């Protein structure tokens, strides 16, 4: 049985990926510093898979703690690295936190991968590296634009660090550039747990529907799009989790063509904010209270993936619909509010 380290494995995408790994037959070791995740997520994972993964609370910014961790787990076959700070606004206010958290952690991880001969890495990247794209859908060859936030910059720098390390060592890596993950596991045992007021669209929608927020603000309806609101590629988190397992298997089987590969992970379909609201209303039968307001600074107009590489080269394709994703997000929201 292959043993995989998942950093940030109790977070939103991490926890769904741990489930997918365990269901595929991997042995999983999770580390998380619990800064933005609850220890209860372990129970959720166990409820789905019948087995809690090994867990260690670990601060990846602590170089000696990371070294100690690898020393006590010298038999890892691969790493999936999720642990990172991810709030765009917070990164503008506190860039050094983002540079320390997202850059140091990766460097310490890679140093130990080299030291302990762990050759396979899947990295959690973002479509934010493309900025405002010149052409749609976005292919992996689209230029990397100057980052619009420190958060986005850390993703660009992280990819460069990994790429350079692949050249200079035995490391094989795949960077997955996520579009907009939404939804929850169909059992509602795990899902997204935003701390404080959600910044992202779907948690804000479900919190409004459940009565926690008064109304949803739609950031702009005067964009040059079909209905004036921004377009994104919303992907079910369970499909996204599956992409990690497929990417890891590609490395383990030695099927990768280069030591550093990049794949877009999206559905290939762009949906506007107003379309997401309508889909939520139709799926749940709830009428959502929303208002149009000013544009949000830093938002790009339209972003959706060209998924040809993911489909043909990686052999992965998103299967779930927007309606399934919204229904699962709503089921999860209701569950956590009724606990």
> From CA 181, how far away is CA 208, in angstroms rounded?
19
Q: Cβ closer to ligand UD1: 245 or 303? A: 303
Contact at 8 Å (CB) between 52 and 42? yes
Number of helices (H) and strands (E), helices first, in the chain? 12, 13
Q: Is 217 in the site for ligand UD1 (CB under 6 A)?
A: yes
Select the residue interacting with ligand UD1 from 204, 260, 280, 316 (CB under 6 A). Answer: 204
Touching ligand UD1, residues 165-184 (CB under 6 A): 180
Of residues 80, 106, 142, 230, which one binds ligand UD1 by CB under 6 A?
A: 230
> Catalytic one among 151, 178, 223, 234?
151
| Separation CA 107–CA 126 (nearest Å) | 19
For ligand UD1, which residue of 33, 124, 128, 156 counts as binding (CB under 6 A)? 128
Calculate helix-pair angle for 322-337, 273-284, nearest 10 degrees: 70
When the beta carbons of 83 and 201 are compared against ligand UD1, the nearer one is 201
Q: Which residue is nearest to ligand UD1 (CB)?
A: 230
Question: Active site includes 151?
Answer: yes
Among 300, 309, 317, 321, binds ligand UD1 (CB under 6 A): 300
Structure tokens at 33: 């510093």
Q: Give the pair of three-digit tokens for residue 283.
A: 């799926």
CB 125 to ligand UD1: min, Å: 9
Task: Report the side by side order of strands in the sheet with 260-265.
Answer: 54-57, 27-32, 3-7, 78-81, 120-126, 172-178, 260-265
Residues that bind ligand UD1 (CB under 6 A): 86, 88, 126-128, 180, 199-201, 204, 216-219, 230, 232, 273, 296, 299-300, 303
Which active-site residues does the annotation give? 151
């Amino acid at each position: 049985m292959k043993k995989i380290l998942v950093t940030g494995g109790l977070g939103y995408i991490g926890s769904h990926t741990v489930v997918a790994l365990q269901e595929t037959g991997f042995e999983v070791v999770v580390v998380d510093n619990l800064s933005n995740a609850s220890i209860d997520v372990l129970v959720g994972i166990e409820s789905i898979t019948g087995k809690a993964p090994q867990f260690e609370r670990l601060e990846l910014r602590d170089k000696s703690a990371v070294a100690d961790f690898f020393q006590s787990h010298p038999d890892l076959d691969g790493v999936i690295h999720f642990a990172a700070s991810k709030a765009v606004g917070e990164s503008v206010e506190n860039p050094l936190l983002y540079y320390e958290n997202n850059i140091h952690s990766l460097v310490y991880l890679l140093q130990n991968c080299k030291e302990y001969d762990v050759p396979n890495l899947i990295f959690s990247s973002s479509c934010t590296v493309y900025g405002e794209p010149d052409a749609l859908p976005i292919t992996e060859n689209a230029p990397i634009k100057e980052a619009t936030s420190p958060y986005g910059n850390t993703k660009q720098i992280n990819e460069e660090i990994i790429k350079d390390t692949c050249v200079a060592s035995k490391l094989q890596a795949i960077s997955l550039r996520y579009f907009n993950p939404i939804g929850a596991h169909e059992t509602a045992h795990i899902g997204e747990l935003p701390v404080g007021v959600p910044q992202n669209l779907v948690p804000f929608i479900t919190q409004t529907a459940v009565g926690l927020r008064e109304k949803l603000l739609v950031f702009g309806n005067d964009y040059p799009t079909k209905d004036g609101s921004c377009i994104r590629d919303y992907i079910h988190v369970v499909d996204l989790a599956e992409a990690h397992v497929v990417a890891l298997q590609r490395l383990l089987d030695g099927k990768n063509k280069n030591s550093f590969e990049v794949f877009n992970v999206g559905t290939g379909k762009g949906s506007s904010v107003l379309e997401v609201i309508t889909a939520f209303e139709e799926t749940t039968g709830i009428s959502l209270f929303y208002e149009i307001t000013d544009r949000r600074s830093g938002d790009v107009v339209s972003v959706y993936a060209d998924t040809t590489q993911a489909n043909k080269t990686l052999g992965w394709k998103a299967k779930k619909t927007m309606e399934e994703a919204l229904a699962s997000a709503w089921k999860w929201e209701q569950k956590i509010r009724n606990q």
